[in-house]
Amino acid sequence: MKKIISLLAMVLAIQSFAQSYAKVEVGPEEDISLKIPTDFISMTDQDRMKRIYSSKVPLAQFANENQDVTLGVNYNIMRWTEKDTDLVYGFYKASVNNLFDEIEFIQDEIKEINGRKFIIFEFVSTVKNDNAFSGSRAAKNYTYIQYTSYNNQVLLFNFGCRARQMGTYQTIAKEIMNSIEIDD
């Protein structure tokens, strides 16, 4: 009986730490849906401009309460159809590799999710600071990016946090990315 009570207590404790999700719909016609953690909030334009350096306003940008974990949905006007996936994969892999001083891929593949082909890059990256007077060290980050063809353009999903937070957020990032559904 004590074993059963202990097991039940452990299951309840694990469930209390389980992440809860909410389904959100984004895009011009809200035809892109994904699950995000319920404690993530939509970033304001001001918050987004402080954290994300881009001239283009994303379709959606979310963050946790501390805004040190972000999830973005964006697009690129580069022409791409699903038959070009292998070619686009090589282009994006080279681009990702050139952005960082060091990169360690966890996932690097083309995979079908919910009936759609995605290019997936999951990695830990390092950007070194060569300025001896800045007082800051190298930045190490965990990133999970997925690209897919959408209306003959590139649709991308980007999850990011500090590498030290990876243990907390890697499973959550995978849950989000595997929940993506697109109606076109």
Q: Which domains, and CATH codes, for the chain?
A: 20-182 (3.40.1000.10)
Answer yes or no: is pLDDT of 4 > 50: no
d(CA 125, CA 3) in angstroms, rounded, equals 44
Assigned token pair, 86:
């292998």
Answer yes or no: is pLDDT of 16 > 50: no
Average pLDDT, the chain: 85
In angstroms, the Cα distances linking 117 to 21, 87, 144 are 24, 13, 16
Quickly state the pLDDT bin for 136 (edges 50, 70, 90).
low
Q: Is 88:106 a contact under the CB 8 Å cutoff?
A: no
- 29-53 pLDDT tens trace: 788 999 999 999 998 877 777 766 6
**178 compared with 9, residue with greater pLDDT:** 178
pLDDT at 131: 63
Assigned token pair, 44:
């304001």
- 78-127 pLDDT tens trace: 888 888 888 899 999 999 999 999 999 999 999 999 999 999 999 999 99
For residue 107, give the nearest of 176, 174, 166 by alpha carbon.
174
